A and B are shown apart, each in its own frame.
Chain A
Amino acid sequence: MNLLLVEDNLPDALIIREAIKKENLPVKVDLVSDGERALGLLFAAENDEEAMGPDVLLLDLNLPKVDGFEVLRVIRSSNKFKHIPVLVVTSSDSPDDRSEVAKLGAGYFRKPVTYSEFTKIGAFLRRFLEENDLL
């Protein structure tokens, strides 16, 4: 299973990858650090029938160049990836952000301020994948 992690904050990316590893999830994690690159990857896969593309996305909202919301909107309008499960992983606790993400059909994980809490993203992702029939 291919997981595309779109995250510009390396410290966060490291914790997320570590948490996935600790949870023993059967995923291959690819990391891109901005929205433009994430969309580039998706477009390439969309136009190439043989390319598999990612099976699931972990998406930060605050991204350089093209932000997470824009990436999510493009995905939801694409033919190939419009149903792909997306879990938004963000620092924001804004109700507006939460409701907008829910409208775009994605999961929401708020990054906590303690290490032990943050690593719970592994278990959270497992449940998310199970809910989306990927596990």
Chain B
Amino acid sequence: MMRSLRDIPIKEKLMVIITLTATAALLLCGTGIVAFDLILFRGYLERDLNALAGIIADNSTASLAFNDSKSAAETLGALRARTHLVTACIIRPDETMLAQYTRKGEVAPCPSAGGDGLEFTRGDIRISRPIMLNSQRIGTLLLLYDLDEITERVKLYGATVIGFVIIASLIAFLLSSRLSALIATPVSQLVHATTAVSETNDYSIRAKRLSGDELGVLVDRFNEMLSNIQTRDKNLRKALLDREEALREAERARERFRFMAESMPQKVFTAKPNGDVDYYNRQWSEFTGLSFEESKDWGWIRFIHPDDLDANVKSWRNSIQSGQPFHFQHRLRRADGAYRWHLSRAHAMRDSEGGISMWIGSDTDIHEQKEKEEELRRLNDDLQQFAYSASHDLQEPIRNVAVYSEVVATQYHDLLDADGRQYLGFLVEGGRRLAVLISDLLAYTRAGVIEGEVTSVDSTVVLKHTLASLSEAIREAEGVVTYDPLPEVYMGEAHLQQVLQNLLSNALKYRNEDPPRIHLSAVNLGAAWRFSVRDNGIGIDPQYKEKIFGVFKRLHRDQKYPGTGIGLAISHRVVERYGGRIWVESEPGKGATFYFTIPQTDARSGAAPLESSSG
């Protein structure tokens, strides 16, 4: 019963509980009332029957005293109205019967005389009452009363109680079926909500609060719980989505890396933190002619030229230990056995904690570049050799020609006729000119060579040196040279002086009738300093502004402007050698401004010059 009750829905359970409780309570009450009434009724019946017996006994005194059985029978006949009185007898002291009343249709003997008083027996009440006259007992009244009245009363009351119980239970059932909804509806609503959540995993569902009692609180707490779960679920989903996206991105990155690695002309590889190579692209296999299995881990060392191997392995091990980038030039063996120069580089990829997660590297074929470098080195050596030869071997005979033709021209002048002297003059001039040209050409050759490490130099100091060496020429020309503060630049001092000297010499040389006014300044362009040398001289026709920087290119053959035309070519070569540019802006008759730039970072060392203000 309890088990089956436990499993039925709350609404029905409530109805059953309420109905049963009400029924039980009513039954208990009804039974109590009936029992109490029975006790009261018995008392009442006792008093009633005692009073009745007293009255009958008193009324029978005379009849008994006179032994008048008729009158006694009449007295007893008054008991007819009492339907539950079975029989009544008046007994003489000698226990003979004076009169008897018997209920109609009843044949009953007189009850046996016992003690006086009222006695309940099984199915009836026996009353024995003495009949007294002058305090002397003259007889006994015996009454026998059946208990059917009590039974009827119990039946009536019982039926009434049962009827009420049934009606009350029915009402309780009906009421409970309505009222249980107060509890059952919020509960079932909660159940629906939980079922919906568990079936759909939709944590946005909320149970509706239908009451302000504990169930209402339960609904609130349940909704709060759902809200928390929803937030957590959302965060969890987001985290999952993020992770999935990160995984997808990682996969895409891997794909991109593979695609990039496979489509690059270089040989690309990756290695574990301990240096074991775990990936090679197709280009590597094609170059070496071997499979990945054959060259993985440290298998690649068999392709390194024996002369490069030790240094290579040492350098690679150093990088693995220190995490520093690997950078090495070596020869790799091609499938056909030929060795080709390669530049191998590898960088350590680090995780968020700074540990090396892998190495990514490439091998670039620099064989042709190497060969060109070698060729260039040879050419440079040849050029240096030429410069040396020109400095020493070439200059001597030319100088001999120039000097001795001059000696002949002065000391043996009279031995020659006019033509001979003119021709000798040509020889002297030609020899001198050749010597100067050779010397200039040599200076031009040297201008392209930067030797040793370039350090920063204060261009104001260099300018002052230059002005000192040009002081005679400035004085002669009555020139005025002004300048703004000039910066420090990364340039060989001799080279900067050469450029400044050439530009200032030109500015002094190519002057018009007015005394030369020359101004130098420098502007910071960020990546470079731009120097300018502005003059008020004869200017240059724009159509020649490129040509003037060529070797031995001169615009004037006039004796007024002597020179071989090497100065600007040397300046051009020097400036370009330092990564700068030189140009001129001018119009004939309006002076000229020569500009040149010097990068602020020394391209060869990567160092930056000190800060310096410009004018």
Identify the A interface with B (CB < 8 A): 9, 11-12, 15, 61-62, 90-97, 111-116, 118
Contact = CB atoms under 8 A, between A and B. Distances in A.
Interface stretch (B138-146, B207-215, B398-406): B398-406
A114 B406 contact: yes
Given A94-B391, A94-B446, A95-B494, 10 more contacts: A9-B400, A62-B392, A91-B395, A91-B399, A93-B391, A93-B439, A113-B399, A114-B432, A115-B403, A115-B406
Given A93-B442, A95-B446, A113 B402 contact: yes
A97 B446 CA distance: 12
B187 interface: no
A91 B436 CA distance: 12
Contacts of A91: 391-392, 395-396, 399
A113 B387 contact: no
Interface of B is mostly: helix
A12 B439 CA distance: 18
Contacts of B410: 115
A113 B394 CA distance: 13
Contact of A97 (B391, B398, B432): B391
A52 B445 CA distance: 44
A113 B405 CA distance: 11
B245 interface: no
Interface centre among A12, A91, A96, A114 (most CB of B within 10 A): A91
Contacts of B402: 113-114
Contacts of B436: 113
B399 A61 contact: no
A92 B406 CA distance: 21
Contact of B392 (A12, A92, A115): A92
B400 A93 contact: no
Contacts of A62: 392-393, 396
B91 to A, nearest CB: 178
A6 to B, nearest CB: 14
Contacts of B446: 94-95
Contacts of A92: 391-392, 395
Given A113-B435, A113-B436, A94 B442 contact: yes
B399 A111 contact: yes
A12 B406 contact: no
Q: Which 6 A-B pairs have the closest CB atoms?
A: A62-B392, A91-B395, A113-B435, A92-B391, A115-B406, A11-B400
Query: What size tier do the contact residues of chain B reach?
Result: 20 to 34
A115 B399 contact: no
A61 B451 CA distance: 22
Contacts of B399: 12, 91, 111-113
Nearest to A94: B391
Interface string B378-398: 000000000110011101101
Contacts of A15: 403
B443 interface: yes
B387 A114 contact: no
A21 to B, nearest CB: 15
16 contacts: A15-B403, A61-B392, A62-B392, A90-B392, A91-B392, A91-B396, A92-B391, A94-B387, A94-B442, A94-B446, A95-B494, A96-B451, A111-B395, A113-B398, A114-B402, A115-B406
B407 interface: yes
Interface string B431-465: 11001100100110010000100000000000000
B380 to A, nearest CB: 15
A90 to B, nearest CB: 7
Contacts of A9: 396, 400
Interface in B40-62: none
Nearest to A18: B407
Contacts of B435: 113
B443 A93 contact: yes
A12 B393 contact: no
Nearest to A113: B435
Interface centre among A12, A62, A90 (most CB of B within 10 A): A62
A86 B398 CA distance: 26
Contacts of A11: 400, 403-404
A116 B398 CA distance: 16
Contacts of B494: 95
Contacts of A115: 403-404, 406-407, 410
A95 B445 CA distance: 12
Nearest to B498: A95
Given A91-B391, A94-B391, A97-B391, A113 B403 contact: yes
Contacts of B443: 93
Contact of A114 (B391, B403, B451): B403
Contacts of A12: 396, 399-400
A91 B399 CA distance: 8
Contacts of A112: 399
